[in-house]
Structure 1
Amino acid sequence: MQSPTQFPLLFFSFFMFFSLSLSDPRITEAGLFCGTVNAARSNFISEFVAVMESLSEQVNRAGWGTHVNGSVYGLAQCLSDLSHTDCLFCFAQARTKLPHCLPAIAARIFLDGCFLRYDNYSFFTEPLDPQHDTAVCGQQAVEGEPDRSQLAKNVRTIVKNVTEIAVKDGGFGVGEIGNVYGLAQCWKTIENVGCRKCLENASREVVECLPENEGKRLSAGCYLRYSTEKFYDDVEKDIGNLDGEATEDVRVFSGRPRIGIIAAISSSVAIVALLSILGVFIGYGGLSKRRKARKRLGQLSVVVGRSNLHFKYELLEKATNFFDPLRKLGQGGAGSVYKGILPDGRIVAVKRLFFNTRQWVDEFFNEVNLISGVHHENLVQLLGCSIEGPESLLVYEYVPNKSLDHFLFKKKKTQSLSWQQRFDVIVGTAKGLAYLHDGTGTRIIHRDIKTSNILLDENLRAKIADFGLARCFSADQTHLSTGIAGTLGYMAPEYLVRGQLTEKADVYSFGVLVLEIVCGRKNSVYVEESSSILQMVWKHYQSNTLPESVDEYLKDHFPAKEASNVLQIGLLCTQASVSLRPSMSEVVKMLTETDYPIPLPMQPPFLNASSADTNATSISASFPSSESQATSNVLLTPASEPR
């Protein structure tokens, strides 16, 4: 058996072999341009994710697309000679590389087969961008004056010819003259006048690459390339004169691609996953980091290879009706979840991931490797995954009643939970966490317990979901010092400030969750301190008026003593001192055993916007929660911890 570190290299060799026998998706990077201004808005990342998701769907359907979400404008397009498979391959690679520019508010990437751009304004009809348009020249000059003169003549002729073809025939044209090949492509959003303006400008600029054997012009509205080697796929020929200048030695082609059957398509699609995975450690400096990524990927490949976990991408694509928006169940910071129906009739939830970065590797590995063997009635079961397509997919059991926040915080509640239903959700969540902490043979910390990660089944039974941030450690470890990840408002103070992670961080999050469930309102760290649910419940506790904290939807239809006990448990779990918080096993006993003592809580911490700002310099990235503007998923790095 090959070592895990050899796995990506072996498959990369496999890709190189296949590139000789299949059409070329042209994923070589021609240019990547990142903006110099970073986003200041908290919801920028969520808007970016929504744009990338829509572009993915449109490219899969039509080979190009545009989308606007908030202040993020996006455009993606494959060159018209690429097959559908190669187009998806190229777009997957572009989407893997472009997020390296985040949190810049603008970026664009030119691969030899496709283009992807996002910006903070509507750029769709701009043919030129003098600040960023550039030429990329080859590295091998043609030698000898006769050969150079002939090359220059042929290059000028071919770029003029393909420009005319593209302008007259839908924005795309290819052709050859002698030993020189040319391709012109305008983006679909550019009108005919703009297409001509862009390509004529590109024609003047690209010839400056002479006497190099290749030249590319990367423009805001078009792409133009010449080369002494054929680089494009064959399309239907339309041989003839252009304005009377073409001769019998000039072969020019129409812009309508020929539709063909691509052999070994499943193998080609499998390679898409490889390139996405290879993109994980492209751009991360340092040999040790790359070795760590290769090792993690090798381990992941072993897990995915198990027959009971592996799903074919095509099967899941069909199961979700090609990720039909009507099948979408929800969206988070890293991807969207769709309802799928498998050929055997089983209904599943398919999570579609979008970021192929080191963070993605860690989260995907956790979901598949750490949680695949964990089974409990209060945990969402992971059924399998796929890494064979443009996106990596996770397959879960289908939980029909969505997440808890839909029942608690939506303005138009379809169903209000009774006291007993809320109590059962609290107990079920507690049991699920207790199992993670004590029942698996290793301590697993979820790190992102919140209402949107608690799903409800057909019987409104609680199921903990989303284990992408989970961590485990052995019994002899007191804590982990780790980069901080989670959702503000639910994060324990010792973890948020010092990066010290224990299972008591989950206990704190659970305590906040309990108060939200009982009170029917969301905790917030972005408003004045008086709005903190912790402070509100604490004041009622001091005044011996805890029942007044209960959600007004319940009115008087709840047992006051039991509600007070549950709120007191919530305060116990959110105490500032880690040692004073109970374990989840103790919490389960407090909730289910009438004679089990419930200690008196000490004052919990009150984290608000001002206290969160004191650590703002530690924040390395911010990922807003799609469920509410009141909380944000964050990734923070303690200053003492290298990454």
Structure 2
Amino acid sequence: MNLYIEVYIKVQNVPSEASLRHLTNYGKKKHPLEVILGSSLGSLFLLIGIFVLLFWKKENADEAEEYDLDHVAGMPTRYSYHDLQASTENFSKELGRGGFGTVFEGALIDGTKVAVKRLDGLSQIKKSFLAEVETIGSIHHFNLVRLIGFCAEKSHMLLVYEYMSNGSLDRWVFQKNPEMLLDWHHRKKIILDIAKGLTYLHEGCRQKIVHLDIKSQNILLDENFNAKVSDFGLSKLVDRDQSQVVTAMRGTPGYMAPEWLTSVITEKVDVYSFGVVLLEILCGRRNFDRSQSEEAMHLLELFKKKIEEDQLLDLVDKNSEDMQSNGVEVVNMMRVAAWCLHNDYTKRPSMSMVDKFLEGVVNIELDLDYFFSNPPLPNTILGVDNQEVHVATTTSLIASILSGPR
């Protein structure tokens, strides 16, 4: 063996301790631990390499997405996370909380008050968020809450909206405090404002935008009690040549139309939800209220019962003397709600038709018995406590397909 080593070194002319060690151990069996360690280290290095490659690709993809947003015409202002952290005083004044995140009061450098919505735990749908920003920033209508800007920095995703000083509609219509109760004049105006906002979404754009989550919490009021539709997190695009689309169930139980059980929807699901909100405004109570007796908990079932008994005056908001004194007109408005709540979506009106009816442009005889001739609404859609349904991935809406200000 030593002779062999000497000859090998001379031939190679590279005296090496490592070479000697290698040749001395030549033919020996490797220890099992060495084999395991070697194999494990090799696999570890391979996994690290794959992870680094995937991370590099993700970082580049994220940068490309953010670069694309910066180069889209008509985009709302882009803010840094540091800017919004400063404008909200480190997110100290909370305005409200929802299924997607928390809203805080803030002020821009020029003193303009804003509402900053911080989206929590949504990094997995960042692409949908970026597409939504592009879309909402392109919609301009007086009865839709305006998106001023956004932030998309790594895991930080925030939306900056115009500030609505009177908050959400549910703060006002479910009140027992006489000083905060809305009179009939204000309620009529709010109902018309909501109808106009939905009409724009359904018919004012080149392709229909179905909101899919119309409820009292998503209607905001400015300092003059002008109502504006907000929160487009679940909205979906419907081509004008499509009579209906198939989509996963989304929205808030209590406001969801019966056809959600089939997952085949049209813009008429918004009409149904509008009907529920309309009833809440007229009756001054939530569509599901545990404080009521068992037979009166579900407003829609109670509504159907009062129609059959011809006692709709019983449903007019009892906390408001002004609503009571205008009871006949309020009951007439309930006919519009019944029209919108028809179980058969093909029998519901379009929002533009509702808008024209509310403004007195058209006059239609509304037969309440006809609208509620179908079986009662299923409890699976009525829901309990208005808990939000799990949200499916939103459909991105392309800004170029939307019309300009109306």
Q: Same fold by TM (over 0.5)?
A: yes
2:103 counterpart of 1:337? yes
2:256 counterpart of 1:491? yes
| Distance in 1 (alpha carbons) for counterparts of 2:65 and 2:155 | 21
2:330 counterpart of 1:563? yes
Larger-Rg structure: 2
Secondary structure of the residue aligned to 2:79 is coil
Going from structure 1 to structure 2, the CA distance change for 1:372 and 1:479 (only over 3 Å counts) comes to same
| Distance in 1 (alpha carbons) for counterparts of 2:320 and 2:176 | 16
* Residue of structure 2 equivalent to 1:586: 353
| Distance in 2 (alpha carbons) for counterparts of 1:441 and 1:551 | 39
Percent sequence identity is 37
C-alpha RMSD of matched pairs (Å) = 3.3
* Residue of structure 2 equivalent to 1:394: 159
Of residues 320, 336, 357, the one that matches 2:88 is 320
How far does the alpha carbon of each residue in 1:556-606 deviate from its partner, in whole angstroms, 9 at most, with x for none?
544233211211110110110011100000001111116521432411664
Deviation at 1:409, TM superposition (A): 2.5
Going from structure 1 to structure 2, the CA distance change for 1:411 and 1:561 (only over 3 Å counts) comes to closer
* Residue of structure 2 equivalent to 1:372: 137
Question: After superposition, where does 1:590-601 map in structure 2 within 5 Å?
Answer: 590-593=357-360, 596-601=363-368
**Please, what TM-score do these two structures have when normalized by structure 2?**
0.74
* Residue of structure 2 equivalent to 1:423: 188
Going from structure 1 to structure 2, the CA distance change for 1:595 and 1:516 (only over 3 Å counts) comes to same
| Distance in 1 (alpha carbons) for counterparts of 2:100 and 2:165 | 21
Question: After superposition, where does 1:28-47 map in structure 2 within 5 Å?
Answer: none
Deviation at 1:630, TM superposition (A): 1.4
| One-letter amino acid of the structure 1 residue matched with residue 198 of structure 2 | L
Deviation at 1:611, TM superposition (A): 6.7
* Residue of structure 1 equivalent to 2:340: 573
| One-letter amino acid of the structure 2 residue matched with residue 311 of structure 1 | Y
* More strand as a share of residues: 1
| One-letter amino acid of the structure 2 residue matched with residue 548 of structure 1 | D
2:215 counterpart of 1:450? yes
2:269 counterpart of 1:505? yes
Going from structure 1 to structure 2, the CA distance change for 1:525 and 1:574 (only over 3 Å counts) comes to farther
Deviation at 1:334, TM superposition (A): 1.3
* Residue of structure 1 equivalent to 2:148: 383
Going from structure 1 to structure 2, the CA distance change for 1:331 and 1:411 (only over 3 Å counts) comes to farther
Secondary structure of the residue aligned to 2:78 is coil
Deviation at 1:529, TM superposition (A): 5.9
Secondary structure of the residue aligned to 2:150 is strand
Of residues 367, 385, 405, the one that matches 1:630 is 385
How far does the alpha carbon of each residue in 1:273-295 deviate from its partner, in whole angstroms, 9 at most, with x for none?
xx8x959xxxxxxxxxxxxxx79
How far does the alpha carbon of each residue in 1:309-332 deviate from its partner, in whole angstroms, 9 at most, with x for none?
3112211111001111xx111111
Report how many residues are paired: 336
Going from structure 1 to structure 2, the CA distance change for 1:611 and 1:484 (only over 3 Å counts) comes to closer
| Distance in 2 (alpha carbons) for counterparts of 1:299 and 1:605 | 49
| One-letter amino acid of the structure 1 residue matched with residue 280 of structure 2 | E
* Residue of structure 2 equivalent to 1:515: 279
| Distance in 2 (alpha carbons) for counterparts of 1:298 and 1:508 | 40
Question: After superposition, where does 1:227-626 map in structure 2 within 5 Å?
Answer: 278=58, 302-306=68-72, 308-324=76-92, 327-359=93-125, 361-362=127-128, 364-365=129-130, 367-388=132-153, 390-409=155-174, 415-495=180-260, 497-524=261-288, 530-555=296-321, 557=323, 558-593=325-360, 596-601=363-368, 602-603=371-372, 606-607=376-377, 609=379
How far does the alpha carbon of each residue in 1:351-400 deviate from its partner, in whole angstroms, 9 at most, with x for none?
001123444543x2453122211111110001111112542110111111
| Distance in 2 (alpha carbons) for counterparts of 1:434 and 1:569 | 15
Deviation at 1:350, TM superposition (A): 0.6
Going from structure 1 to structure 2, the CA distance change for 1:583 and 1:301 (only over 3 Å counts) comes to farther
Going from structure 1 to structure 2, the CA distance change for 1:560 and 1:366 (only over 3 Å counts) comes to farther
Secondary structure of the residue aligned to 1:589 is helix
| One-letter amino acid of the structure 2 residue matched with residue 467 of structure 1 | F
If asked which structure has higher relative contact order (CA below 8 Å, sep 6+), I would say: 2
Going from structure 1 to structure 2, the CA distance change for 1:588 and 1:611 (only over 3 Å counts) comes to closer
Q: Is the 8 A contact 1:339 1:347 kept in 2?
A: yes
Deviation at 1:542, TM superposition (A): 2.8
Secondary structure of the residue aligned to 2:102 is strand
Secondary structure of the residue aligned to 1:379 is coil
Going from structure 1 to structure 2, the CA distance change for 1:446 and 1:542 (only over 3 Å counts) comes to same
Going from structure 1 to structure 2, the CA distance change for 1:412 and 1:562 (only over 3 Å counts) comes to closer
Deviation at 1:546, TM superposition (A): 2.0
Q: Is the 8 A contact 1:303 1:369 kept in 2?
A: yes
* Residue of structure 2 equivalent to 1:5: none
| Distance in 2 (alpha carbons) for counterparts of 1:351 and 1:428 | 23
Q: Is the 8 A contact 2:254 2:381 kept in 1?
A: no
Deviation at 1:545, TM superposition (A): 2.7
Going from structure 1 to structure 2, the CA distance change for 1:435 and 1:328 (only over 3 Å counts) comes to same
| Distance in 2 (alpha carbons) for counterparts of 1:476 and 1:300 | 32
How far does the alpha carbon of each residue in 1:217-255 deviate from its partner, in whole angstroms, 9 at most, with x for none?
xxxxxxxxxxxxxxxxxxxxxxxxxxxxxxxxxxxxxxx
Q: Is the 8 A contact 1:319 1:342 kept in 2?
A: yes
| Distance in 2 (alpha carbons) for counterparts of 1:585 and 1:337 | 31
Unaligned regions of 5+ residues in structure 2, if any? 1-36, 41-54, 393-406
Deviation at 1:299, TM superposition (A): 6.0
